[in-house]
């Protein structure tokens, strides 16, 4: 994540263009990506800290109760200044009225800018990786904490900045995605050379997903010198999509400070050093709710031989569903057409356990259709078939 070296007067960090952020100038203005950031610690000691970013998001993480984000004014059309700083292409907001709350963040944050990191024709370029996978690109939405009033004040605080990171992935079947339009029509070649600027107008919601769900949280740093350990990171599991044409365009739409194509502008992943990574998902909470009502049924079961069989079999399907969860909506992948919705149980009735058994079964089936992507769509079928048998067992034994 880059806190750009040149800041516009619209951001209350400095009084004039050309002022460096924090101690970045002390780290040397000629830093680059020749060694993907492995040499930055030689001139900026903070880049050798224990809370550095980016990281490889591990397979083993903790989970917590999902808390939705609240976005204010993100759907308003805003004037943005595009700028090529020789290290990235960034967009700076002219109006600091886009506010971010919720999402288990420690307060309210204000969007200041966003920028991209990307790869080359034959190499990926996201900064974070997901269980070892590096994506072609990554976009960072940089917010400062409203309580601290400015970016300048925020970079020295452990929770001063909140960055939303989205992976960007080539989809060979994609055409005219929101990001395709953004790069090829709005950005184009307007800022191909370093120090070039351009002004465009658009709404942030034009390029963001409709829902902000399934995300990882950890405490980290800026990903450029001076690597201030001031960032509350939010990394979304589901990637944004671009076409093959846009990927090719991104490998040549901007030049670096040496007049070469700006590519592979990412820092290598840094050690986790014992930091906790937490995953938030409304679907995890939904599965927990289903399991809770299943447990209520088990508690009410008569002490009979088939009761244990019922409990063991349905519990097995719940565990299978949990292990198959990938954090993305896979309704289409599981063969249910273009509609990404599914009938689901919204209210569970504990006054009638025959009815509750059917509701738990229906809710689990709906969850599996939407979320059990592992095995190329096979797991959700196994869950549906097996849970149906368990439901029928209950109905027979309880004379439902």
pLDDT higher than 60, residue 32: yes
Place of tokens 């990574």: 277
Q: Which residue has the higher pLDDT, 345 or 194?
A: 194
Cα dihedral: 100, 106, 108, 111 (round 10): -50
For 267-293, how does the pLDDT look when each residue is reduced to its tens digit (9 = 90+)?
A: 999 999 999 999 998 877 788 878 878
Query: What percent of the chain is modeled with pLDDT above 90?
Result: 56
Q: Look up the pTM and report it.
A: 0.77
What are the helix (H) ranges across 138-281? 151-154, 178-181, 244-250
Tokens of 54: 């980016």
Query: What percent of the chain is modeled with pLDDT above 70?
Result: 86
- Please answer whether residues 266 and 53 qualify as being in contact, where contact means their C-beta atoms are separated by less than 8 angstroms: no
**Cα separation of 86 and 192, whole Å?**
10
For 305-324, how does the pLDDT look when each residue is reduced to its tens digit (9 = 90+)?
A: 888 888 888 888 888 888 77
**Among 11, 18, 23, CA closest to 224:** 23
Q: Cite the active site residues.
A: 87
CATH of domain 24-280: 3.10.200.10
What are the helix (H) ranges across 109-191? 151-154, 178-181
**Among 33, 365, 52, 66, CA closest to 237:** 66
Place of tokens 């960007």: 168
Lowest model confidence (mean pLDDT) among 105-109, 222-226, 346-350: 346-350
pLDDT at position 90 is 95
pLDDT band at 383 (very low <50, low <70, confident <90, very high): confident
Bridge partner residues of 328 (DSSP): none
pLDDT at position 374 is 59
pLDDT at position 336 is 54
pLDDT at position 377 is 54
Bridge partner residues of 138 (DSSP): 117, 167
Each domain of the chain, given as residue ranges in start order, spans 24-280, 282-397
For 75-102, how does the pLDDT look when each residue is reduced to its tens digit (9 = 90+)?
A: 999 999 999 999 999 999 999 999 999 9
């Amino acid at each position: 994540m880059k806190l750009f070296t040149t800041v516009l007067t619209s951001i209350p960090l400095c009084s004039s263009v050309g002022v460096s952020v924090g101690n970045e100038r002390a780290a040397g203005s000629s830093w680059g990506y020749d060694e993907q950031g492995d040499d930055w610690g030689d001139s900026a000691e903070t880049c050798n800290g224990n809370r550095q970013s980016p990281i490889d998001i591990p397979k083993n993480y903790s989970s917590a109760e999902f808390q939705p984000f609240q976005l204010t004014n993100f759907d308003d059309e805003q004037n943005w200044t595009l700028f090529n700083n020789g290290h990235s292409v960034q967009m700076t907001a002219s109006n600091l009225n886009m506010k971010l709350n919720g999402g288990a963040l420690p307060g309210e944050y204000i969007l200041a800018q966003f920028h991209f990191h990307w790869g080359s024709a034959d190499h990926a370029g996201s900064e974070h990786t997901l269980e070892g996978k590096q994506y072609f690109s990554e976009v960072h939405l940089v917010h400062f904490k409203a309580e601290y009033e400015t970016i300048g004040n925020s970079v020295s605080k452990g929770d001063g900045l909140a960055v939303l990171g989205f992976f960007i992935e080539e989809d060979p079947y994609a055409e005219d995605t929101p990001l395709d339009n953004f790069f090829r029509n709005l950005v184009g070649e307007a800022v191909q050379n370093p120090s070039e600027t351009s002004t465009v107008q658009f709404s942030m919601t034009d390029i963001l997903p409709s829902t902000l769900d399934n995300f990882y949280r950890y405490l980290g740093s800026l990903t450029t010198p001076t690597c201030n350990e001031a960032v509350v990171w939010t990394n979304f599991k589901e990637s944004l999509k671009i076409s093959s044409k846009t990927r090719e365009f991104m490998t040549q739409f901007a030049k670096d400070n040496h007049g070469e194509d700006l590519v592979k502008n990412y820092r290598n992943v840094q050690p986790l050093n014992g930091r906790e990574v937490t995953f938030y998902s409304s679907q995890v909470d939904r599965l927990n709710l289903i399991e809770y009502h299943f447990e209520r049924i088990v508690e009410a079961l008569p002490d009979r031989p088939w009761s244990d069989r019922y409990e063991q079999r349905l519990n097995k399907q719940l565990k299978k569903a949990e292990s198959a969860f990938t954090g993305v909506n896979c309704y289409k992948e599981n063969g249910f057409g273009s509609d990404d919705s599914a009938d689901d149980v919204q209210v569970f009735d504990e006054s009638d356990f025959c009815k509750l058994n059917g509701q738990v079964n229906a809710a689990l089936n709906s969850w599996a259709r939407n979320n059990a992507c592992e095995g190329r769509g096979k797991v959700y079928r196994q869950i549906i078939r097996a849970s149906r048998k368990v439901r029928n067992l209950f109905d027979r034994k309880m004379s439902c």
